[in-house]
Amino acid sequence: MQVDIQKLTALVDEAKKNSQKRNFEQAMELVVNFKGLDVKAPENRINETVTLSNPIGRDVKVCIIADGDLVVKARNAGADMVITKQEIDQYAGNKKAVKKLAEKYDYFAARTDLMATVGKTLGSVLGPRGKMPEPIPPSANVEPLIKKYRSAVRIKIRDQPAIRCRIGSEKMESKAIAENIMSVLNTIDRKIKLDQYLSSIVVKTTMGKPAKLR
């Protein structure tokens, strides 16, 4: 399947036309379907964070787990939540609190020397959700990292030969959404050859009828 920005822009336009006006701003959702792909093979499993070309029109919440100067840097950089080394202990054995944390925040990053503690305390909940923190050095500039997360989505292939993710909102320009789709497709193609396994690309609003590119 030959895919370019023009075709993807037309696909987004079609998805918008298929959608009725709602009393809220709908998300634009992407589904990439595969054929002949063995999802049980480890090399075909995907769990990646994709930095999109354009922000997706919703608040992406970022939690930084830090100590020392990194605490101040993370707060100044606009992290939605900063958990200190001392505060990690309050989550030990409190699975309900960890689940609440995992549901509230989209992305996590932690100081490198805290990763072992984070894994022990939060790993059993964050791991299966694909939200284990990205390790960051104590001297790191976290502002670019947080900015990257603000324009990012997580894509996964697990039990089904498909990837689903949000790639914008209906008020965004169609070309900007198409550019985001291309970012996702390029990331997938680095892991799985799309010219061999791609079946269809589907775009739809939250409650709209799908538009499909075969």
- pLDDT tens per residue, range 113-127: 999 999 999 999 999
- At residue 1 the predicted structure's pLDDT band, cuts being 50, 70 and 90, is low
How far apart, in whole angstroms, are the C-alpha atoms of residue 143 and residue 78? Answer: 8
DSSP helix/strand/coil, 4: coil
Is the alpha carbon torsion for 177, 158, 193, 186 positive or negative? positive
Helices (H), 60-193: 69-76, 85-88, 95-104, 115-126, 142-150, 174-191
How far apart, in whole angstroms, are the C-alpha atoms of residue 207 and residue 193? Answer: 31
- At residue 26 the predicted structure's pLDDT band, cuts being 50, 70 and 90, is confident
Asked if 19 contacts 130 with a C-beta cutoff of 8 angstroms, the reply is: no
Q: What is the average pLDDT value for the chain, to the nearest integer?
A: 91
Q: Which range has the worst mean pLDDT, 13-27, 76-90, 183-197?
A: 13-27
- At residue 58 the predicted structure's pLDDT band, cuts being 50, 70 and 90, is low
Name the pairing type of β-strands 107-111 and 134-136: parallel
Domains of the chain: 5-57+151-213 (3.30.190.20), 62-149 (3.40.50.790)
pLDDT exceeds 80 at position 57? no
What percent of the chain clears pLDDT 90, i.e. is strictly above it? 67
* Residue of 10, 2, 1 whose CA lies nearest to 178: 10
DSSP helix/strand/coil, 117: helix
Asked if 9 contacts 211 with a C-beta cutoff of 8 angstroms, the reply is: no
Question: Against a cut of 0.85, is the pTM above it?
Answer: no
How far apart, in whole angstroms, are the C-alpha atoms of residue 207 and residue 22? Answer: 9
pLDDT exceeds 90 at position 60? no
Q: What length does the chain have?
A: 214
